[in-house]
Amino acid sequence: MSKTPHIPLQTQAMEAARGVFLWLDDRLKITNLWEHTGGHMIPKSSASWFYVFGSATLLCLMLQLVTGTLLAFVYVPSGAEAYSTLEYLTYEQPLGWFLRAMHYWGSEFMVTIMFLHMTQVFLFGAYKYPREITWISGCILMLVTLGLAFTGQVMRFDEDAYWGLGIGAAIVGRVPFIGEQLVHLMLGGPIIASETLSRFFAIHVFILPGTILALVALHLRMVLTKGINEYPKPGQVVVKETYEKEYAAIIKKEGIPFAPHGIGKDLFAASIVIGGILFCAAFFGPKGPTAPPFPANTDVVPRPDFFFMWIFAVAALMPDWMETFALLAVPPVVILVLFALPFFNGTGEKHFSRRPVAVIIVLLVYTTFGVLTYLGITSPWSPEMRAWTADITPESRVLGRSPLELQGLIVLQNKQCRNCHAIEGIGGKRGPDLADVGMRLTVPQLARQVIQGGGNMPAYGKNLSPYQVDALIAYLSSMVPPGRQPAQDSTIPSKPEPETAQLNLQ
């Protein structure tokens, strides 16, 4: 080295670095690995904006692993401590609130983008031959992700988490024969307690993340062995005998390495996703915790997280007789159909313009889940527990009433009728609005409904004195909108029988 002083130091350094790299590459085979992974060839058409959702979901997972691990630095999964460590994280630990918010919003983004990815894969026919295992591993990834979302809401160990576990146990308890044992297995004992939380913690931070990483490896391995789906064209059909040759020809003709030439849009989408999570975390903050998980506090209205709202709605709206069947048998059937999809629909057209059934399925599924989620959030079937003390009565429903009718209004308010019945939209939505009830029901009908109940209304006969019933019905029958007639019994003619007959004769 001393004999070649004219070589610039920079060149010498580069030579040395090159030597180190070549040595490492010889030992680790990095370039070889790169050619078969990041640098693998993809069809040029697949470097599309529609193909960014998979990598974006993976990005969310990576963020969840980082933020989740950091939260575990502080969080204590114990029934006595979890809630106070959540409060400490939110209010005292520097940036603890932000990490909690990132983990929460990261999960919302992950589930959302995962379903966008699944929808795109379905609409673009990417599940078809020969990508069956890619699809099935993706379906299992979806289930594991939802499992992480459910166990994650238990980690936020507040009253919603506590009663969410109660709902889970109630569903599991409907399993025939071994329901009780399964409930005890799920809860880690006969009742929701600290062991339940420890159990869900182990599932949330060890079992499911380990499973998801293994499945992601399989999912990506399948993308490498069978290639990413080419951008479908109408009229281009999948035939098992020829497809792989056609795909190889596409790669040969217009293949580009995924990195660096095909990854640009993924990177752009990744920055949008990170930006979105950071924005939501900073702007909306973390979710909860709500009140502490004290079951003895009955002043609670348990609600699941957003992505389980639809189940909450289904549980309210299903007819009783099919409920157990729907809760226990339908999910496995749906999952089996999803798994079987590439086998009974593995060939033929891929482009959505030639697959009207696929498009209709997507529209139906999105509409159904959208409506159910909306209903779950508004939950009109739930009584408003505070309506009877907190909700006002509109002035026009008080003015000009007789003393008897006003007594009836007091009965209506005191007997919690408003918890289920609104007046002009104010109050519970479980039963019909009473603003026009005098127009719909006659006095005898009102009396029967109040005393005997029926149509999902409890009977109040035992809880009301005859005087209270009189007053209540007087008030209710006064509830007729201006310019409308009170309800009349169609079976009792307003005029005596003979006169009616004469009228008919004329």
Q: Which residues bind another protein (CB under 8 A)?
A: 78-81, 83, 162-163, 166-167, 169-175, 179-185, 187-195, 292-296, 298-302, 312, 315-316, 318, 320, 323, 381-383, 385, 388, 414-417, 419-420, 430, 453, 456-460, 462-463
Q: Please, which residue, 273 or 472, has the CB nearer to another protein? A: 472
Backbone torsions φ then ψ of 300, nearest 5 degrees? -140, 145
Environment class of 245 (CB within 10 Å of its CB; exposed 0-12, middle 13-18, buried 19+): exposed
Write down the least CB distance from residue 249 to another protein, Å. Answer: 31
Amino acid letter, 172 = V
CA distance 86 to 203: 19
Tell the residue number behind the tokens 């007639």, with chain if given.
Answer: 485
Shortest spacing between CB 274 and another protein, in angstroms: 36
**Smallest distance from the beta carbon of 154 to another protein, in angstroms?**
12
DSSP sequence for 115-163: HHHHHHHHHTTTTSTT-HHHHHHHHHHHHHHHHHHHHHHHHS-SHHHHH
Q: In the complex with another protein, which residue's Cβ is closer, 43 or 376? A: 376
Which are the contacts of 194, defined by CB distance < 8 A and separation ≥ 6?
Answer: 78, 79, 80
- The smaller minimum CB distance to another protein, of residues 44 and 184, is found at 184
Q: How far is the CB of 201 from another protein (least distance, A)?
A: 13
The DSSP bridge partners found for residue 256 are 42
- If the CB atoms of residues 127 and 157 are measured against another protein, the closer one turns out to be 157
Q: Shortest Cβ distance from residue 115 to another protein (Å)?
A: 25
Q: Smallest distance from the beta carbon of 447 to another protein, in angstroms?
A: 17
140 or 318: CB nearest another protein: 318
Q: Which residues pair with 238 in a beta bridge?
A: 348
In terms of CB distance, is 237 or 318 closer to another protein? 318
In angstroms, give the least distance from the CB of 444 to another protein.
22
For the bound state, the minimum distance from the C-beta of residue 178 to another protein, rounded and expressed in Å, comes to 8
Q: How far apart are CA 43 and CA 249, in angstroms?
A: 10
Nearer to another protein, 281 or 327 (CB): 327
Minimal distance, residue 35 CB to another protein, in Å: 27
What's the closest the beta carbon of residue 478 comes to another protein, in angstroms? 22
Question: Closer to another protein at the Cβ: 396 or 452?
Answer: 452
Instruction: State which residue, 79 or 288, has the beta carbon closest to another protein.
Output: 79
Q: Which of 243, 298, 289 is nearest to 129 (CA)?
A: 243
Determine contact, residues 156/289, Cβ cutoff 8 Å: yes
Least CB distance from residue 429 to another protein, whole Å?
10
Distance CA 123, CA 351 (A): 7
Q: DSSP assignment of 217-286, as one string?
A: HHHHHHHHHH-PPPPP-TT-EE-TTTHHHHHHHHHHHHEEEIIIII-HHHHHHHHHHHHHHHHHHHHH--
Q: Which residues pair with 414 in a beta bridge?
A: none
Considering the complex, state which of residue 146 and residue 316 has its C-beta at the smaller distance from another protein. Answer: 316
Spatial CA neighbour of 470 closest among 417, 397, 385, 403? 403
**Minimal CA–CA distance to 389: which of 414, 364, 371, 408?**
414
Nearer Cβ to another protein (187/487):
187
Structure tokens at 38: 């990041």
User: Which residue, among 132, 149, 148, has the nearest Cα to 338 in the 3D structure?
Assistant: 132
Shortest spacing between CB 111 and another protein, in angstroms? 22
Q: Give the span between the Cα atoms of 196 and 192, in whole angstroms.
A: 6
Contact in structure between 33 and 27 (CB atoms under 8 Å): no
Between 394 and 453, CB nearer to another protein = 453
CA-based nearest residue to 149, from 186, 107, 121, 189? 107
Name the residue among 136, 349, 379, 375 with its Cα closest to residue 237.
349
Q: Report in angstroms how near the CB of residue 71 gets to another protein at its nearest.
A: 19
Which is nearer to another protein, 94 or 455 (by Cβ)? 455
Q: At what angle do helices 264-284 and 96-123 cross, to 10 degrees?
A: 140
